[in-house]
Amino acid sequence: MTTTDVVDWDAITLDPRFIDLHRRKTAFLWGLMALSVAYYFLLPIGAAYFQDLFKIRVWGVLNVGLLFALSEFILTWVVALIYARKCSRDFDRLAALISADFASRSASRPGVNV
Amino acid sequence: MAGLLGVAALGASFASHAQSAVGEGKGSITFIVFAVIIAITMYVTYLAAKRVRSASDFYTAGGAVSGWQNGWAISGDYLSAASFLGIAGLISLYGYDGFMYSVGFLVAYITVLLLIAEPCRNIGRYTLSDVLSYRNDPKKSRIFGALSVITVSIFYLTAQMVGAGVLLKTLIGINYETSVVCVGVLMLAYVLFGGMVATTWVQIIKAVLLVSASLLIVALVWVPYGFSLPAFLQDVVSDPKVQARVATLLGDPAKAMSAADLGQRFLEPGLYLKAPIDQISLGMALVFGTAGLPHILMRFFTVRSALHARHSVVWAMIIIGGFYLLTLFLGFGAAKLVGPADIAAVDAGGNIAAPLLAQYIGGGPDSVFGNFMLAFVSAVAFATIVAVVAGLVLASASAIAHDLYVGVIRQGKEVSPSGQVKAARVATVIVGALSIGIGIASKGQNAAVLVGLAFAVAASANFPCILLTLHWKRCNTGGIVAGLIVGIVAAVGLTLVSPNLTYPKAVKAAAHKVLDGDAAKRTAATEALQSNDPKQVAKAKKELGALDKAVAKANADIAKWADSQTSFMGLEEPWFPLKNPGIISIPLGFLAVLFGSLLFRDRRAEQLWNEVYVRQNIALVVSKSTAVH
């Protein structure tokens, strides 16, 4: 069972709404990913090459190193929140519109698997 | 039944208390608590087994698990022996560096969330190979995809088996080999009779138990400090046991440092990962490895839709993140209350730190409640291991049954549902037997480090392939095959010539060093025996006991390695200096996919790009993959 006669993928890729969605989604995902990876790698790099910085005591015996490691937890949760919010407010709606539109076009043809 | 055999074997060999950490006469509580938890999980399996009918049920729980339930299941799968036993152990023995594993394991989920979870759910069906074979030649993708899944699973499985072996050995006194067999047998029972449904529910139950037990221990550890983090760490740093441990690790430089400095050093990087590049290599493997773990990927296929997949990952990130914050207290708490020396004496890898902490909190080895806590925590850890092992075996068995058998040997022709389930069960037994054998052969390794190696393979082989087939138009079969082969060979190859293996020459040299230094330490301790202060005498006796143990071990090591000069691979010393191959093998994997794709033309891959491209971005009305396989 092939899909090419069920959903017109090529038509969707030409749809301006889809192109817009894809562009914004790409920019968002990869941008966020790049930031996260950069922030994360500051940790092993710091632990390896900036040990004197990491040893500075900031809060009692807590040093920069430990606080920085703990901040990575905050990073992770904030990124998850931002991503989930952006998807539910923005991308999901647009994707649903496009998908409903093309599904109704395909539904008029026989053999559709829904 | 298999499960009863396992429990009976436990009971039978429990007579030998050879290396148990349990106080005299308390062995039976341990056994009872243990048996109760195992019985509950067996019952869930039994209930689930009645509902398994089709291959879909067997593999993916019929697609019926909800977002937050799956979040708990993912957490259960992920928080394995490496997390609970391994990381707590690494932190208790090496301080700051152990916590780097916690951070890495968590941040890795950003990669999964942003780039992998939803796209895979939209186009996948049962296995990693489904994702890879979507656009590419199915036969080739499946063969190499299956090989990669099995390789990753073997490393990961070995880590769990080591954890289980150490746990049971310490707890009940049965020997390592027997406990590995018990784990294997119990795990087989779970998977054979329930498939994914059973393992999903076992994962959820176990995750809840694990998090609850950890919360309880951490609360008890932290309450005396009024939940103040600096106060807690201050006490850890001032503890003489911790300071002594740092002194041992540093060697000569320690003589110039004050006691307070030694303690503070425990909170600073570098006690375990000494080479700077080691930190980065490990970091790479961890942050990119999770996105390539086959048994985690399978979790996305058990939900209804991509939206549920997203919710699952977010829930998992909350639970897992919360848990790793707890490991900070488990590890440092164990260092302060039990002491790194005592932990290392029971198990050199430190895997036993968390259970020993539980025992201490409960009142120590000679109290009833102390041993109850030990039993409870160990049973939860044991259930953790069995559940994760089940998930891994399932991933490998489905790779063999679904990809190699149905897809390749039977040429993708229709195999009846019962035929598929049967093939899956046969594959399960094969993988189970393999894992028991390898687990026994891996005696003495450290759980979190082994998992780090599994991550390196996943990050070098699976991750580049998945990422590029989903996001790069020009990626094709040539790229996938090249990427998988190069990734696996590079990661495994470099590991085999790395410091992770045992090098008899180095072991013997270290043993001789211990023997040489023994005389001097012994005179000092023997003198202290003569003093009038009972505290000094007790301390001296303890030191002499430790010295005796060290000498015995050194002699045993020399005897064990008397005949060999080289490692398993025939090297006298490591050829590759890093503990984790990530920094080399991951870029190699990506380059292989790149060049492999560019060197070959593949019409099918290009034709199907639009479908993959669209599906990733919008959750289509068509919820199941319908491409030709």
Looking at residue B322, which CATH number applies to its domain?
1.20.1730.10
Confirm whether B373 is domain-assigned. yes
Q: Do B106 and A18 touch (CB under 8 A)?
A: no
**Band of pLDDT at residue A65, cut at 50, 70 and 90:** very high
Confirm whether A112 is domain-assigned. no
Which one has a higher pLDDT value, B423 or A59?
Answer: A59
Task: Encode pLDDT of B346-393 as tens digits.
Answer: 777 788 899 999 999 988 887 888 888 888 888 888 877 877 887 788
Q: Which amino acid does the sequence have at B588? A: L
Which one has a higher pLDDT value, B37 or B555?
Answer: B555
**pLDDT at residue B13 in the model:** 43
Chain B's closest residue to A74, CA to CA, is: B321
Q: Is B235 on the interface with A (CB under 8 A)?
A: no
Domain around A32: 16-107
Task: Encode pLDDT of B166-197 as tens digits.
Answer: 787 777 777 778 888 887 887 777 777 766 55
B199: pLDDT strictly greater than 80? no
Which one has a higher pLDDT value, B298 or B111?
Answer: B111
**pLDDT at residue B325 in the model:** 94
Averaged over A89-109, what is the pLDDT? 75
Q: Do B100 and A44 touch (CB under 8 A)?
A: yes
CA dist B365 and B22 (Å) reads 6
**Which of B314, B621, B628 is nearest residue A114 as measured by Cβ atoms?**
B621
Beta pairing class for A57-59 and A62-63: antiparallel
User: Is pTM, for the whole model, over 0.95?
Assistant: no
**pLDDT at residue A21 in the model:** 86
Confirm whether A113 is domain-assigned. no
Considering chain B, what percentage of its residues have pLDDT values greater than 90?
21
Domain count, chain A: 1
Confirm whether A5 is domain-assigned. no
Averaged over B615-627, what is the pLDDT? 55
Domain count, chain B: 1
Task: Encode pLDDT of B569-583 as tens digits.
Answer: 778 888 888 888 999
User: Which residues in A lie closer than 8 A to residue B97 (C-beta atoms)?
Assistant: 47
Confirm whether B379 is domain-assigned. yes
Could you count the other beta carbons within 10 Å of the beta carbon of residue B66?
14
Averaged over B37-55, what is the pLDDT? 66
Tell which residue, B88, B135, B144, B116, has the closest CA to residue B448: B88
B331: pLDDT strictly greater than 90? yes
Burial of B115 (0-12, 13-18, 19+ CB in 10 A): buried
Domain around B177: 2-45+63-440
Confirm whether B580 is domain-assigned. no
Q: Is B586 on the interface with A (CB under 8 A)?
A: no
The CA distance from B388 to the nearest CA of chain A, in Å, is 24
B623: pLDDT strictly greater than 70? no
Chain centroid to CA B28:
29
Residues 246..275 of B with a Cβ closer than 8 Å to A: which?
A: 264, 267-270, 273
B59: pLDDT strictly greater than 60? no
**pLDDT at residue B12 in the model:** 43
CA dist B434 and B175 (Å) reads 19
Burial of B626 (0-12, 13-18, 19+ CB in 10 A): middle
Mean pLDDT of chain B: 80
Considering chain B, what percentage of its residues have pLDDT values greater than 70?
86
Beta carbon pairs, A and B, within 8 Å: 172
User: Which residues in A lie closer than 8 A to residue B321 (C-beta atoms)?
Assistant: 73, 76-77
Confirm whether A1 is domain-assigned. no
**pLDDT at residue B347 in the model:** 77
Residues 48..107 of B with a Cβ closer than 8 Å to A: which?
A: 96-97, 99-100, 103, 106-107
Confirm whether B17 is domain-assigned. yes
Tell which residue, B251, B263, B298, B318, has the closest CA to residue B514: B251
Averaged over B57-78, what is the pLDDT? 72
Which one has a higher pLDDT value, B309 or B578?
Answer: B578
**Which of A48, A75, A98 is nearest residue B276 as measured by Cβ atoms?**
A48
Task: Encode pLDDT of B123-164 as tens digits.
Answer: 765 577 888 888 888 888 888 988 898 888 888 888 888 888
